[in-house]
Amino acid sequence: MKKKKPLIGVTGPARRLAYAWWATHLSLKLLGARAVHLTPHSAALATNFDAVIIGGGDDIDPVLYGEKPAERAKINAERDVFEVGIITQALAGKVPLLGICRGAQLINVVNGGTLHLTIRHRRKKTSNRSTLFPAKTALIEKGSRLEGIIGSDCCRINSLHHQAVDRVGEGLRIAAYDLDGFVQAIESKTDHFIVGTQWHPEYLPYLRTQRKIFKKLICVAADS
C-alpha cells in the first residue's frame, strides 16, 4: 500500500502576502508532503499534524525571555502566544518540529533559552546586509543531526535576521555557527526531531543541501 503523504502545519503571520508560506508550501509539495498554513486565526493543534514548521517573521517579544520590552522592535504578540502554544503541544506530543529564523529562536525561548536583541554591532567578518541569496556560510558541528542531514560540515546560507540565539535552551544544542561565531542552527539532544535554522531554506530550493532539510522532516513525519 502506498504511504499517505504526511501533513505538515506551517505557521506564519495572518497576512495576504505570505511569501515564506508559499515558498515553504512549494518546497514541501515538490518533495511529496501536504502543507497547511497556520496563523493566529487558525483553530489548530500541533497534534493534528505529522510535523510542524514554525516560520520566520517579526521579532519575538523580549519579555518572553526575561528582557525589557524593546522600544522600536516590530513584534506580533498575538502570533507569539499562538506559536508558543503550538511549540508546547509539539514538544509534549513529540511531533517533529522545524523552526526557521524566528521559528528557531522561539523554539529556543520556549525551552528556556535567550536571544541577542541585536547582533548588528557584533558582526566583524560577515555583513549586516539582508539577502535571500546564499551569500554566507554555516559551519556545521561535527556529529550533529544537522551534519547527518546535509552530509557536510558547511553549507551556503542566506541571512534575513538581526537577532540570534544567545543562551541555548534546555534539551537543545548548537548545530551550526557562522563565521562570526553566532548560532546558525540548533537541534534536540534527544531522539525527538527538533531542528532550528537561523537561515531560510525555503528560499533556497535550488540548493540540494537545503532541500535535504525539508526532505528529512518529511521522512520523519511519514514514519511518526
Its sign, for the CA torsion 113, 214, 149, 125, is negative
Spatial distance between the Cα atoms of 62 and 181, rounded to a whole number of angstroms: 22
Is residue 176 within 8 A of residue 183, CB to CB? The reply is yes
155: helix, coil or strand?
Answer: strand
Q: How far is CA 40 from CA 77, 96, 153, 157, 200, in A?
A: 10, 20, 37, 29, 21
161: helix, coil or strand?
Answer: coil
The predicted pLDDT at position 97 comes to 98
- Residue 6, C-alpha cell as written in the block: 504526511
- The DSSP call for residue 48 is G
Q: Work out the average pLDDT over 25-37.
A: 97
- The residue length of the chain stands at 224
Close Cβ partners of 194 (under 8 Å, ≥ 6 residues apart): 91, 96, 97, 98, 99, 107, 172, 186, 187, 188
* C-beta neighbour count of 213 within 10 angstroms: 24
The predicted pLDDT at position 121 comes to 84
58: helix, coil or strand?
Answer: coil
Q: Is this structure's pTM higher than 0.85?
A: yes
For 40-95, write each residue's pLDDT tens digit.
998 788 889 999 999 999 999 999 999 988 766 789 999 999 999 999 999 999 99
Strand pairing category for 97-100 and 115-116? unpaired
- Judge whether residue 2 has pLDDT over 80: no
Counting residues of the chain whose pLDDT is more than 70, the rounded percentage is 98
Q: Work out the average pLDDT over 14-30.
A: 92
Identify the band that residue 3 occupies on the pLDDT scale cut at 50, 70 and 90: low
For 98-146, write each residue's pLDDT tens digit.
999 999 999 999 999 999 999 988 888 888 888 999 999 999 999 999 9
The predicted pLDDT at position 1 comes to 43
The predicted pLDDT at position 19 comes to 93
- The DSSP call for residue 153 is S
Looking at the annotation, which residues are catalytic? Answer: 101, 200, 202
194: helix, coil or strand?
Answer: strand
The predicted pLDDT at position 224 comes to 79
Query: Considering only CA atoms, which of 69, 65, 63, 104 is closest in space to residue 83?
Result: 104
> Domains of the chain, with CATH numbers?
7-223 (3.40.50.880)
